Homo-oligomer: A and B are copies of this chain.
Amino acid sequence: MKKYSFNVKANDGFARLGQIKTSNGSINTPAFMPIATQGSIKFTPIEFIKEIGFDLILSNTYHLLLRPGLKVLNKFDGISRFMKWDGPMLTDSGGFQVMSLAKFRKISKEGVKFQSHIDGSTHILTPENVVDSQNIINSNIQMSLDECLHYPASFEDSKKSMRLSLNWAERARRRFLDTKKNKSDAQFGIIQGGIFKDLRIESIKENTDIDFDGYAIGGLAVGEGHEMMKEIVKYTTPELPINKVRYLMGVGKPKDIIIAVENGIDIFDCVIPTREGRHGNAYTNYGIINLNNSKFSNDLNPIDEESTYYVTKNYSKSYLHHLLRINEPLGGMLVSLHNLNYYNVLMNKIRNAIRDKKFNTFKENFLL
């Protein structure tokens, strides 16, 4: 019995507090998704993710297709049982990874042919087989296949690519509706159009005609910078349907998230907390600190004295510095967990601020 719904429960300006319901549980929005690229959060037992309190995680169709492959996932009736995450899961479509990782890609109207970055084997993604794959992965929320362009791209290239993604979107939606029974709860379309307002608006119009269950803004966080991203989010988001989830893909830093929430975005994903954590960079209320710095070798205090999270409270900066220095993976893992908890607390604060109609004050204090 699959079920999906999204309700906006409160507004503060354009910022909104909402709840997504899926057959694996509900998600309070605005929400941040940790990334389980290949069916695991890097270095991290999944229990820690549940404990921190994340509602929703993301996994990558591109990676899962290559390893462990659909045959294995099919045996498990999907990724939940495979990786032992029983909460809601969103999977991307692979379009972004084909652009950023594959050794070679060739795009045609039919789909995209590419060579695996691991062993050079050839694969084809089509709008239809990406739905079929995600049905096997059995995620709660699917993304439709899109073409992602490298930044910067010309108006002509951006237009051509956006039109192709729209054609794919229609086909993906048709396949999703044809196979929906007993499969994923929902499918989101992806707005493209690069840095060009006209193209973004055109993409929104036609994507909303297709009538997805939610909409993502794609093609950002690819090098355009904070100001450009802010501008695009500002003019794009108001055009999206108010009763559907809005997802800003690949974003981002805390201040990017806050600006996007202010403009009405509901969900986010980003590698920053885990990747930065693995490299020893810890987010704090007073900025980012690099625990590799030798000045921390004698520091008996935790990363954040006010945190109630036991991983943060338990370990000194000196110990974390030591683990990083001896290349012990536990060090990166503990700092990643600290960062993930920081993000989760941030999203809690954001939701509380919207509920209390104090989002603007929260934002101004945060960005100070």
Interface bits A61-81 vs B (CB < 8 Å: 1, else 0): 000000110011001100000
Q: Which residues of B contact A42 (CB under 8 A)?
A: 328-330
Once the chains are docked, how many angstroms separate the CA of A39 from the CA of B325?
12
> What is the CA–CA distance of A326 and B297 in the complex, to the nearest angstrom?
33
A4 within 8 A of B: no
Q: Least Cβ distance of A76 to chain B in Å? A: 7
Which residues in B have their C-beta under 8 angstroms from that of A328? 38, 40, 42-43
Q: Is the CB of B298 within 8 A of A71?
A: yes
Asked if B326 and A67 make an inter-chain contact with CB atoms under 8 angstroms apart, the answer reads yes
Q: How far is the CA of A297 from the CA of B68 in the complex (A)?
A: 8
20 contacts between A and B (CB under 8 A): A38-B328, A39-B322, A40-B323, A40-B328, A43-B329, A45-B330, A67-B326, A68-B297, A68-B318, A68-B322, A68-B325, A72-B297, A75-B298, A75-B318, A76-B316, A82-B316, A82-B322, A84-B314, A84-B319, A329-B333
Q: By CB atoms of chain B within 10 A, which of A75, A329, A333 has the most?
A: A329
Let me know if A44 is at the binding interface, CB within 8 A.
Answer: yes
Is A309 an interface residue when CB atoms closer than 8 A count as contact?
A: no
Cross-chain contact of A330 among B40, B76, B300 (Cβ < 8 A): B40
User: What's the least CB distance linking A345 to chain B, in Å?
Assistant: 20
9 closest A-B pairs by CB: A68-B322, A329-B329, A38-B326, A40-B330, A43-B329, A40-B328, A84-B314, A82-B319, A67-B326
Closest to A314 in B: B84
Cβ-defined contact, A319 with B75, below 8 A: no
Residues of B with C-beta under 8 A to A45? 330, 333-334
Distance, CA A323 to CA B300, complexed state (A): 34
- Say yes or no: A75-B300 contact (C-beta < 8 A), given A67-B325, A323-B40: yes
Interface 1/0 per residue, A301-328 and B, CB below 8 Å = 0000000000000111011001101101
Cross-chain contact of A76 among B44, B83, B314, B318 (Cβ < 8 A): B318
* Given A75-B300, A76-B316, 15 other A-B residues pairs in contact with their CB atoms under 8 A: A38-B322, A38-B328, A39-B319, A40-B328, A43-B330, A67-B322, A67-B325, A68-B297, A71-B298, A72-B297, A72-B298, A75-B318, A76-B300, A82-B318, A329-B329
Chain B residue numbers with a CB within 8 Å of A298 are: 71-72, 75
In the assembly, what is the distance between CA of A43 and CA of B329, in Å?
6
> A84, B318: Cβ atoms under 8 Å?
no
Q: How far is the CA of A12 from the CA of B315 in the complex (A)?
A: 43
**In the assembly, what is the distance between CA of A330 and CA of B82, in Å?**
14
Q: A83: which B residues are within 8 A, CB to CB?
A: 319
| Alpha-carbon gap, A82 to B314, bound state (A) | 10
A43 to B330, CA, bound (A): 5
A329 to B71, CA, bound (A): 24
